[in-house]
């Protein structure tokens, strides 16, 4: 059950919920308000009303709006990182790994809750705590991709990291464009196109330990 589904299930005012369930409900309501209005325009009153609770109940769980926003950001940064790591671990075929990783970003931005906007399109990036979290998850995703590249190609850590940042950056930028432009291209087709583009580049690096003369095998299993 998503945070928003938990909000819908637990919204009636006056219902007593276990602390964890109430927290999840409040996070779901906050996500709806922050995604729709942005951080600056959102008010704790709006979030409490959306959740169907009093403001004192909201403040029992989150001392302020920034605390609530950061808790929500932590939740969705973790979800992105788990999705990328899961994609990389889903197969040992490197071309399929590229496709799975690209699709992880597309699935993340396509989620109906719009949580990706808090991570990639926040109106609060001038806040150090927000900037640190956004930068950290981008770095962690790149590091996960970089580890696979370094292991398979024998490239240095720094070289692998440059390639990984490129792959992750292209994935999220294209996925966001695909969603915001309401592209008629189906998600599967879009992922396939982006995978073909990335694969033509990454496959040029030979597998670690193979004959350098057999270039083009680097991303192949």
Does residue 171 contact residue 157 with C-beta atoms inside 8 Å?
A: no
For position 215, what pLDDT does the model report? Answer: 38
pTM, two decimal places: 0.83
Per residue in 80-91, pLDDT (tens digit) is 999 999 999 999
Cα separation, 187 vs 109, in Å, equals 11
Query: What pLDDT was estimated at residue 208?
Result: 65
- What residues of the chain score a pLDDT lower than 50? 1-13, 211-217, 219-221
CA angle 71, 77, 80 (to 5 degrees): 145
Instruction: Tell me the per-residue pLDDT of 60-82, one tens digit each, with 9 for 90 and over.
Output: 999 999 999 999 999 999 999 99
Q: What's phi and psi for 164, nearest 5 deg? A: -65, -40
Mean pLDDT (the chain) is 88
Cα–Cα–Cα angle for 15, 18, 24, rounded to 5 degrees: 90
Asked if 26 and 41 touch (Cβ cutoff 8 Å), the reply is no
The predicted-structure confidence for 104-114, as pLDDT tens digits, reads as follows: 999 999 998 99
User: Tens digits of per-residue pLDDT, 166-178?
Assistant: 999 999 999 999 9
Strand ranges in the chain using DSSP code E only, listed in sequence order: none
């Amino acid at each position: 059950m998503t945070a928003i589904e938990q909000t819908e299930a637990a919204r009636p005012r006056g219902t007593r919920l276990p602390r964890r369930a109430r927290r999840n409900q409040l996070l779901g309501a906050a996500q709806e308000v922050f995604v729709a209005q942005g951080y600056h325009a959102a008010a704790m009153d709006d979030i409490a009303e959306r959740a169907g609770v009093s403001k004192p109940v909201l403040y029992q769980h989150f001392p302020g709006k920034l605390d609530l926003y950061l808790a929500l950001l932590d939740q969705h940064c973790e979800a992105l990182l788990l999705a990328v790591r899961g994609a990389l671990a889903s197969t040992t075929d490197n071309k399929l790994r590229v496709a799975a990783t690209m699709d992880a970003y597309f699935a993340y931005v396509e989620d109906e809750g719009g949580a990706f906007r808090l991570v990639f399109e926040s109106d609060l990036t001038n806040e150090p705590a927000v900037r640190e979290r956004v930068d950290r998850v981008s770095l962690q995703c790149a590091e996960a991709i970089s580890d696979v590249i370094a292991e398979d190609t024998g490239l240095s850590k720094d070289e692998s990291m440059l390639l990984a940042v490129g792959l992750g950056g292209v994935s999220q930028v294209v996925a966001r464009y695909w969603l915001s432009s309401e592209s008629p291209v189906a998600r599967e087709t879009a992922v396939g196109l982006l995978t073909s583009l990335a694969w033509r580049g990454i496959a040029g690096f030979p597998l670690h330990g193979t004959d350098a003369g057999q270039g083009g095998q680097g991303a192949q299993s």
